[in-house]
């Protein structure tokens, strides 16, 4: 396919989509715009985009596809701005936001002009951000949700999929309302719970100084998503407030049920509670990418001697294995410490485990 693709927002998602389109559609021209001009300049220098648009109007007016890769609140504003631009009649406008109902509603003025808007949500991410973190494989095997309204012609949806085929994602078409309900359950709500656990722990730590020291390792892991962008999650929660209020009501019922089991010291029911949770959790797909980016961790038992961390990262660099994060869980003199290395994909984690096993005698285990 040839044509002009205008990407608004040149961060991780926008940049990665641009790379996917360039890979699959060599004749397409990718135009980019970012409110941070340095990000746009870097995107051009890295070859992520072909041209830099000086403003939204210049990039949009001749575009065949417009992709808005911006926070949800900004996406609403951008849709209003696009509605005042004389776009091509056949242009397809899409977004990448984590909520859909309000965004689809914000595209009503485009719809009135006969412009096609198809809500989109690529369910993939990374622990890194910015255009320098963009990569072609980001969306590979991830779910890519599309939320066209009923009046949207199926051929338009297929055309958008064809433009995005280089993502190698799994496309699912659902309603905006169903999207918000599903992502509310498996993404938005867990972020609230993780943040709540951290906030409660912070408050309790004021009276017990050992808590921050003990809340390392596993506690950090189960609350990782609480480190996500506060501004982004403020907007997502407000966009999906009705569903999240409903889920919070259900959560309070769930916790009251656990409280009653404890009050009654019902050991059989408590055991059953944890067994059911374990059974459902263990049955979840392990190889699928879901709503929350997976953490592909490798735990390496390392001796405490100078240069051991750089030694291991040097072996990984030699094999050209990229890491997304690295940290030491615990190390004291004369004992084994634990080095936690995070990777973008499970394939990278497996390659790293083999690499470390080849070059060292250090024991490794994988996260789950």
Span 101-136, pLDDT tens digits: 999 999 999 999 999 999 999 998 766 678 988 899
Please write down the HEC assignment for all residues of 18-29: HHHHHHHCCCEE
Residue 28 structure tokens: 């397409």
Question: Above 80 in pLDDT, residue 150?
Answer: yes
| Residues found in the chain | 368
Cβ atoms of 297 and 341 within 8 Å: the answer is yes
Share of the chain above pLDDT 70, in %: 94
Cβ atoms of 12 and 126 within 8 Å: the answer is yes
Mean pLDDT for 234-239 is 95
Taking only Cα atoms into account, the Rg of the chain, rounded to an integer number of angstroms, comes to 23
Average pLDDT, the chain: 90
**22 Cβ neighbours under 8 A, 6+ residues apart:** 28, 30, 47, 48, 166
- pLDDT band at residue 336 under the 50/70/90 scheme: low
pTM for the whole structure = 0.82
**Among 147-156, 167-176, 282-291, which stretch is predicted with the lowest mean pLDDT?**
282-291
Q: Quickly count: other Cβ atoms within 10 Å of residue 44's Cβ.
A: 17
CA distance 300 to 352: 10
CA distance 83 to 67: 14
Tens-digit pLDDT profile for residues 243-255: 999 999 999 999 9
CA distance 68 to 301: 44
Domains, the chain, with CATH or none: 3-174 (3.40.50.720), 179-282 (1.10.3660.10), 296-366 (3.30.2130.10)
Share of the chain above pLDDT 90, in %: 65
**Among 19-23, 165-169, 173-177, 322-326, which stretch is predicted with the lowest mean pLDDT?**
322-326
Q: Quickly count: other Cβ atoms within 10 Å of residue 282's Cβ.
A: 9
Residue 181 structure tokens: 């309900």
Mean pLDDT for 58-79 is 96
pLDDT of residue 326: 83
Question: Above 50 in pLDDT, residue 49?
Answer: yes
- pLDDT band at residue 213 under the 50/70/90 scheme: confident
Q: Which residue has the tokens 């660099």?
A: 317
- pLDDT band at residue 333 under the 50/70/90 scheme: very low
Pairing of β 92-95 and β 65-68? parallel
CA distance 342 to 332: 22
Question: Above 90 in pLDDT, residue 167?
Answer: yes
How does DSSP assign 66-118, residue by residue? EEE-S-HHHHHHHHHHHTTS---TT-EEEE--S--HHHHHHTHHHHHTT-EEE
């Amino acid at each position: 396919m040839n044509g002009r693709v205008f990407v608004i927002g040149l961060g991780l998602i926008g940049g990665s989509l641009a790379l996917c389109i360039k890979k699959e559609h060599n004749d397409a021209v990718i135009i980019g715009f970012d409110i941070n001009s340095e990000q746009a300049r870097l995107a051009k220098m890295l070859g992520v985009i072909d041209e830099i648009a000086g403003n939204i109007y210049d990039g949009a007016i001749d575009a065949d596809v417009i992709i808005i890769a911006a926070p949800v609140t900004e996406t609403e504003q951008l849709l209003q701005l696009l509605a005042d631009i004389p776009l091509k009649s056949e242009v397809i406008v899409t977004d990448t936001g984590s909520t859909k109902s309000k965004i689809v509603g914000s595209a009503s003025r485009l719809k009135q002009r006969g412009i096609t808007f198809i809500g989109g949500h690529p369910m993939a991410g990374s622990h890194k951000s910015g255009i320098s973190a963009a990569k072609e494989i980001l969306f590979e095997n991830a779910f890519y949700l599309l939320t066209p309204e009923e009046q949207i012609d199926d051929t338009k949806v297929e055309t958008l999929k064809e433009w995005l085929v280089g993502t190698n994602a799994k496309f699912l078409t659902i309603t905006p309302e169903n999207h918000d309900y599903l992502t509310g359950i498996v993404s938005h709500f867990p972020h609230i719970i993780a943040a709540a656990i951290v906030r409660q722990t912070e408050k309790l730590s004021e009276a017990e100084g050992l808590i921050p020291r003990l809340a390392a390792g596993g506690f950090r892991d189960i609350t990782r998503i609480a480190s996500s962008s506060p501004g982004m999650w403020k907007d997502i929660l407000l966009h999906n407030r009705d569903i999240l209020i409903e889920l919070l009501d259900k959560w309070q019922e769930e916790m009251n049920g656990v409280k009653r089991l404890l009050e009654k010291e019902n050991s059989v029911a408590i055991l059953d509670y944890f067994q059911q949770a374990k059974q459902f959790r263990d049955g979840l797909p392990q190889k699928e990418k879901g709503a929350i980016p997976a953490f592909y961790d490798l735990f390496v038992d390392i001796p405490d001697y100078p240069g051991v961390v750089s030694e291991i990262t040097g072996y990984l660099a030699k094999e050209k294995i990229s890491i997304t994060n690295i940290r030491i869980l615990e190390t004291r003199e004369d004992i084994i410490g634990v080095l936690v290395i995070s990777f973008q994909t499970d394939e990278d984690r497996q390659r790293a485990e083999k690499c470390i096993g080849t070059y060292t005698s250090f024991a490794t285990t994988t996260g789950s």
